[in-house]
Structure 1
Amino acid sequence: MGQGLFDYNPPEFILNAAKNALDQVDANQYSPAKGRQSLRNARASHYSESLERELNPGTEVVITTGANEGIPSAFMAFVEDGDEAIMFEPYFDQYISNIRMAGGIVRYVPLSPPADGDAATSSSGDWTPDMEKPKSIFNSKTRMLVLNSPHNPVGKVFSTDELSAIGKLCVKHNTIIIADNVYDSLTYVLVKRMDTLSPEIWNLNLTVGSAGKTFYATGWRIGFLIGPEHLAKSGYFVLVNFSRLKFPQGYEFPSSVASRPRDFTLIWFLITELGLAAIPPSEFYLLENSHVAENFLRFAICKEDSVLEDAKERLRGLKKYLE
């Protein structure tokens, strides 16, 4: 009764579809980085109905390796060093390491149980936030707000009034909303979604979903991000600027590395000194244009929390080399 592991298989039609897919050549090869077009089309069609607008599967839907890739990708794309992110506690513990990995600072809004909870039967919906609290902690550094509904671990489904109040605050402060809705199919009532409340809220909202949760197949690791093009596109890339890093005087690089763009020397330095690998973006440019990306490195963050925490601690070793 501890971890959220299903005791039963996915529906028969899901299992049959998976078995049939194994016989398809393209299903066993590399997929497009943003997900197969057929899957993006299906996600767009499903969500368009509740949004009462047509989603563009090419620009407003991104398939991820489970929600656990989509969530940190969003944080890494939008949270800069010193930015603040607001979340409701209790909270899903992964959020904290993801935000801190991006250099962000977490601010908390507690959900309070009903006052008579020890004397009467209550539901998770009776847990409520004090809306004066978020009003007091929004500031010029507030970059994101995490809204998990249905909530993990409480199970609370935020009411329309609560969502509206939170959404209006985010619009007022131009704050991006991460709406973690991975449990929206596992409820007895219809879940009201943040991105349906107004065009202004939609424009700031990234919805995180999980086909694994919906179809009881959590081990398949199929998630998605849905949002306006300017957010979905940004959430897809995780690049880090290393222009402030200065190599020690006289540091020697192999000739095969020294003759390449600066991002190659950066990676050599990180591997040698910190044991941390990355990808040089200049490799994806023509030689004459490679200077555009030479101060950046690309990191894959679709890793276990323990790996990300270890990488964070290793990156702290660069402080002494920063100008």
Structure 2
Amino acid sequence: MRSLLQSFTRRIPSISTYKHLSRPLSSFNSTLITASTRAMSASAARAGPPKPARRVAEQRQDVWSIVNEAAAASPVQPIVNMGQGFFGYNPPQFVIDAAKQALDLVDCNQYSPTKGRPRLKKAIADAYSPYFGRTIDPEKEVTITTGANEGMLSAFMGFLEQDDEVIVFEPFFDQYISNIEMPGGKVVYVPMHPPPNGATKTSSAAEWRIDMVEFEKSITPRTRMVVLNSPHNPIGKVFSREELQAVGDLCVKHNIIILSDEVYDRLYYVPFTRIATLSPEIAALTLTVGSGGKNFYATGWRVGWLIGPEHLIKYVSAAHTRICYSSVSPLQEATAIGFEQADKHNFWDESKKEMRAKMTKFNAIWDELGLPYSDPEGGYFVLVNMSKVQLPPSYPFPPHVADRPRDFKLSWFLIKEVGVAAIPPTEFFTPQNAHIVEDWLRFAVCKNDDVLETAHERLRGLRKYIKD
């Protein structure tokens, strides 16, 4: 042991070995700080402001801020907002009362279970089981999300790996795209084709078609999901049973998950088919998306859900847990009570009847002006063709509008000169297919009747710009 110790100590250098390090410590600190400061200054000079992620840095100014900017600066005030799809009136009183009462419950002011409050899951299962033709298991086949949008993001996060492909039909709800790209997915676009005479006469939204040959050609070995929206925003199309069967059969053939966005599922004016009900094989691949905000006129509540087989839903739930953990407790409770009491108040039938009446009332102005539109089969949006509206050739559009398609100019012009806001639908298309709708504008009719009447008065101001 002694010899081992002596051997070890002989290996330790003597103090004299470190005599060159005898400068004061403060000298080392000063040198180190100076060097560090210089390095940091040089780095800061090179780096500039923190660099944002490409997914947000490369986005053009969005349509919502452009429309709001024009509305705020318009000389015609107050603006009649027929653009954004929020309701101009409150949810039914029984739903409002349920929300107020929920705030008095201790557990409704705390975290809900990540998959949703049991009462709401059961209410949704009870409400939708008759439509699905079977009993939905609320614990295994339903998950509650923070709005339908977060539910769709959870679905993409739950199934997409880098460079997996998702087929989206144009026009599309704009949030689909970022939701797909954030987990690394790639969007594959398939355009819907408008009626050939849509620019000259009013036609049914049913006449917007998917070319099934074109759809199948877009499928590759990397295709993981297809997004379907019925009733459709912004077209108002309700896909027929035959169309849904064709889409569903191709998805079964290629083993592709169907994300069926059915948030307007209580507002249909023609027979409405849910794709998940067509066959057990299609049902096994389908996630159905719903929205309490759309159902109960409460878009600010952000209560959504997905219904689907356990082997799909469990991965949506897992992603949802990591995105936002759980959703707003008192509004889940209120939505549950809404479903429980809706039939007693005849709410669904009245809601549909009321919205259809608003659609008919509003669209009378287009008949009066001779502007064709796509007559909706569901939802609360209408597309109007404005190819007959002649914009003044020297009109002073700002640069960020002047370099966009014609529908952005139409939207800006209507806000500034007529005082009515509408949304340019090329925002829901890729640049290469924007020409399909550059003469159209989207109007939302979910407003009070007096607002619709004011819109009529304002829109008559277009007469002097309409040329046959």
Q: TM-score range by the shorter chain?
A: 0.7 to 0.9
- 1:48-98 superposed Cα distances (whole Å, 9 cap, x missing partner): 101110010001000111111100000011011111100100111111111
Name whichever of 27-36 and 169-178 sits farther off. 27-36
**Residues 301 and 69 of structure 1: is their aligned pair in 2 closer, same or farther, counting only changes over 3 Å?**
farther
Q: Is the 8 A contact 1:73 1:301 kept in 2?
A: no
1:321 corresponds in structure 2 to none
**Residues 49 and 75 of structure 1: is their aligned pair in 2 closer, same or farther, counting only changes over 3 Å?**
same
What amino acid maps onto 2:143 in structure 1?
V
- 1:166-211 superposed Cα distances (whole Å, 9 cap, x missing partner): 0000000000000000011122234211101000000000011001
The alignment partner of 2:288 has SS state of: strand
Superposed displacement of residue 124, structure 1: 1.4
The answer on 1:44 being equivalent to 2:153 is no
What amino acid maps onto 1:139 in structure 2?
T
2:137 corresponds in structure 1 to 56
1:90 corresponds in structure 2 to 171
2:450 corresponds in structure 1 to none
1:176 corresponds in structure 2 to 257
- Please point out which of 300, 306, 312 is paired with 1:231: 312
1:73 corresponds in structure 2 to 154
For 2:242 and 2:125, how far apart are their aligned partners in 1?
26
What amino acid maps onto 2:192 in structure 1?
L
**Which sections of structure 2, spanning at least 5 residues, go unmatched?**
1-81, 327-468
For 1:63 and 1:196, how far apart are their aligned partners in 2?
21
For 2:144 and 2:312, how far apart are their aligned partners in 1?
14
Q: Is the 8 A contact 1:73 1:238 kept in 2?
A: yes
**Which sections of structure 1, spanning at least 5 residues, go unmatched?**
240-278, 280-297, 303-323
What amino acid maps onto 1:143 in structure 2?
R
The alignment partner of 1:62 has SS state of: strand
* Alignment length (residue pairs): 246
Alignment of 1:1-323 (within 5 A): 1-238=82-319, 300=324
TM-score, structure 2 as length reference:
0.51
Q: Is the 8 A contact 2:114 2:325 kept in 1?
A: no
For 2:183 and 2:249, how far apart are their aligned partners in 1?
26
Which structure has more helix as a fraction of its residues? 2
What amino acid maps onto 1:2 in structure 2?
G
Superposed displacement of residue 155, structure 1: 1.4
- 1:126-184 superposed Cα distances (whole Å, 9 cap, x missing partner): 11111111111112111000001111111111111110000000000000000000011
For 1:103 and 1:66, how far apart are their aligned partners in 2?
22
For 1:189 and 1:11, how far apart are their aligned partners in 2?
24
For 1:238 and 1:49, how far apart are their aligned partners in 2?
28
The alignment partner of 1:74 has SS state of: helix
The alignment partner of 2:203 has SS state of: coil
Name whichever of 192-201 and 112-121 sits farther off. 112-121
Q: Is the 8 A contact 2:153 2:179 kept in 1?
A: yes
Q: Is the 8 A contact 1:72 1:301 kept in 2?
A: no
**Residues 46 and 85 of structure 1: is their aligned pair in 2 closer, same or farther, counting only changes over 3 Å?**
same
The alignment partner of 2:191 has SS state of: strand
TM-score, structure 1 as length reference:
0.73
- 1:224-276 superposed Cα distances (whole Å, 9 cap, x missing partner): 0100001000111239xxxxxxxxxxxxxxxxxxxxxxxxxxxxxxxxxxxxx
What amino acid maps onto 2:191 in structure 1?
P
For 1:36 and 1:200, how far apart are their aligned partners in 2?
29
The alignment partner of 1:195 has SS state of: helix
For 2:149 and 2:238, how far apart are their aligned partners in 1?
21
How high is the sequence identity, in percent, across the aligned residues?
Answer: 60
For 2:311 and 2:209, how far apart are their aligned partners in 1?
32
